[in-house]
Amino acid sequence: MSNTWANPTSTIIGNGGDPLSYLWMLRWPAFAIGHGYNPFFSTYMVAPPGTNLAWTGSVGPGILLAPWVLWLGPLLVYNLLATLSLALSAWCAQLAIHRLVPSRSAAIVGGLVFGFSPYMMGHAWGHVTITLAFFPPLILLFLHEAVVRQRWRWWAAGGFAGLILAIQLITFLETIAITLIASLIVLVLLVVHRPHAIRARSGHAAKCLAAMIISFLAFAAYPLWTMLFGAQRLGHGTVESPDTYVNDVLNFVVPTITTKFIPGFLSASSARVNVGVVESGGYVGIGLIIICILATVFIWRHLYVRIAAVTGLILAVLSLGPRLHVDGTLLNVPMPFALLLHLPVIGNVLAARIMGVADLCVGVLVAAFIAELVLRRTRWRVLGILLVTGSLFLIIPAPLPLLNEPYSMPSYFTGPDVQRIPQGSMALVAPYETNGSLVGPQTWQQASDFRFRMPEGYVYVPTPAGPITGPVPTPLSIEMGTIETEPAAAPPPVLSPGQKAIFLAQLRAWNIRTVLVGPMSNENVMVSFFREFLGRAGSFHGGVTAWYDVER
């Protein structure tokens, strides 16, 4: 990330379309609130129906940081957020771990294991709302306070939990689902191990839970209403196939490309099991696994060690997905995660992401192991310290150039020419945005201060068959996508009168007033395409070819 901060206003941390799409999510809330719009719903993408951002967006940071976004711009704020999110997550984790482990230094190491794990470093390439992992450790803190320690006033503990739950709801819904799974496991284990003690504390815990629910509803009523009752809400069906992003059994011991050291004899296996760099976060390392085992065996007397060990093991098994994968091969062996697929919201969880909370359990066990070495001064202390040092060495992040990429903006969208577009009118932008590889129009729209609406966007859209990425395809959008992906030497398409009529009818259905062709693959072909069926040449300014007053 350091090379990004050499020029943080022209380079973005991460790789691919997701980081760029978050610039839109950061900028939209300030615009929406300033113009009296619902920040959790937008008709500026996938127009005219719009998109329900309570389901498909991550506008929470944009709401909380709106003054900073307006002052510093979304790019700089995003880079700050992506950088500080890892440290914030580690800090929250050490707070929670220190509740369980008496040594502050041990808790800090445990927090670092969570906040800078291979899982977190992988998602730092593109998912800042996942690396903002404050929620799992703070919920652990709440559970310990509400069920075990019980020193805070019940309304304070519950109010605090309800607030962070509301913040997490508008930041990333999936983290709530995964944390709920982990919390239920922890509560069941507490009841099993300490039934009488839990029964005696149940009155205070129930009041904390009630206060949490009331606080959550008070803070989250508006986004929750938009999510459950607003238009374009996601219904049945899954966003991704359950087998798409899962951990391979070897993920736990085979390093990913995000770690600095990959032994040569593991490189081939690493390529097989780590299919998606961002989503391959199962690596713990043989060293940390040994530490977890040693902590479990030798410090089993502590209840928090038993619960962390069992919870972490269950979560790791769930991260394997509905069917077993071994060394890149899918085996027809059903796994426990298959039992969750039909549950609301939880059924949409990507199994590999469960490791994000499992790593918190790893952090607890590592901290417990270190505390035992520090506080008891056993004869194995030196060997233990060497084991911890070597284990942490194995998960050191790799300083790869893919961790950032250049960011540029056509001057058209920040200059006076964009003012020719009627405020809030519909514009068709090429490339036609439907997925993470075509997020240009989304970033251009926010840079123009949302001068125009557009029928495209990189968001989830509900359909009778289930949610899809981007708007429902039309003949015109399919033709635009074909031009985008054709070889560079391909000639412009020759349109029949019937095709022209279909395309013009689509423009009228969308109420398109402006057509914009920005920097893209096969840009000249796309310009020729629109020149032919619009019957006139566009004007070129600031890196963009524009046709104004379309279909007037």
Q: What is the pLDDT of residues 503-519, one digit of tens each?
A: 999 999 999 999 999 99
Q: What average pLDDT does this structure show over 347-355?
A: 91
Q: What is the pLDDT of residue 378?
A: 66
Domain span holding position 90? 79-402
Cβ count near 42 (within 10 Å): 28
User: Are 435 and 407 within 8 A, CB to CB?
Assistant: no
Q: Which residue has the higher pLDDT, 6 or 307?
A: 307
Across 170-174, 302-306, 495-499, 523-527, least confident range: 495-499
Query: What is the residue-averaged pLDDT of the chain?
Result: 90
Cβ count near 340 (within 10 Å): 18
Q: What is the pLDDT of residue 441?
A: 92
At 23 the three-state DSSP class reads helix
| Residues 6+ away with beta carbon under 8 Å from 347 | 238, 340, 341
Q: What is the pLDDT of residue 6?
A: 67
Q: What is the pLDDT of residue 38?
A: 96
Q: What is the pLDDT of residue 165?
A: 97
- Is residue 37, in this structure, part of any structural domain at all? no
Q: What average pLDDT does this structure show over 174-180?
A: 95
Q: What is the pLDDT of residue 552?
A: 60
Statement: residue 401 has pLDDT above 80: no
Query: d(Cα 246, Cα 243) in Å, to the nearest integer?
Result: 6
Q: Which residue has the higher pLDDT, 143 or 277?
A: 143
Q: What is the pLDDT of residue 31?
A: 97
Statement: residue 382 has pLDDT above 70: yes
- Is residue 542, in this structure, part of any structural domain at all? no
- Is residue 329, in this structure, part of any structural domain at all? yes
Statement: residue 208 has pLDDT above 90: yes
Q: What average pLDDT does this structure show over 277-294?
A: 89
Token pair recorded at residue 489: 């030497």
- Is residue 485, in this structure, part of any structural domain at all? no
Across 23-37, 337-351, 388-402, least confident range: 388-402
Query: d(Cα 313, Cα 291) in Å, to the nearest integer?
Result: 14
Q: What is the pLDDT of residue 343?
A: 85
Cβ count near 528 (within 10 Å): 16
Q: What is the pLDDT of residue 1?
A: 56
Q: Which residue has the higher pLDDT, 240 or 405?
A: 240
Statement: residue 453 has pLDDT above 50: yes
- Beta-sheet pairing, 460-461 with 468-469: antiparallel
pLDDT digits (tens, 9 = 90+) for 56-95: 778 999 999 999 999 999 999 999 999 999 999 999 999 9
Q: Which of 366, 254, 199, 349 is nearest to 299 (CA)?
A: 366
Q: What average pLDDT does this structure show over 145-173?
A: 96
Count of alpha carbons within 13 angstroms of residue 346, beta-carbon side = 16
State what percent of residues in the chain have pLDDT above 70. Answer: 92
Ramachandran angles phi, psi of 132, nearest 5°: -80, 65
Q: What average pLDDT does this structure show over 256-278?
A: 67
Q: What is the pLDDT of residue 405?
A: 63
pLDDT digits (tens, 9 = 90+) for 125-148: 889 999 999 999 999 999 999 999
Element (H, E) at 427: strand 425-430
- Beta-sheet pairing, 425-430 with 512-517: parallel
Q: What average pLDDT does this structure show over 188-200?
A: 94
Q: In angstroms, how far is the first alpha carbon of the chain from the final one? A: 49
Q: Which residue has the higher pLDDT, 262 or 472?
A: 472
| Residues 6+ away with beta carbon under 8 Å from 281 | 117, 118, 119, 120, 122, 123, 256, 352, 353, 355, 356
Token pair recorded at residue 65: 């940081």
Alpha helical stretches, state H, 116-194: 118-123, 128-131, 135-143, 154-169, 173-193
Structural domain total, the chain: 1
Split at pLDDT 50, 70, 90, the class of 491 is confident
pLDDT digits (tens, 9 = 90+) for 104-118: 999 999 999 999 999
- Is residue 253, in this structure, part of any structural domain at all? yes
- Is residue 145, in this structure, part of any structural domain at all? yes
- Is residue 545, in this structure, part of any structural domain at all? no
Query: d(Cα 528, Cα 107) in Å, to the nearest integer?
Result: 62
Beta-bridged to residue 544, according to DSSP, are 541
- Beta-sheet pairing, 452-453 with 425-430: parallel
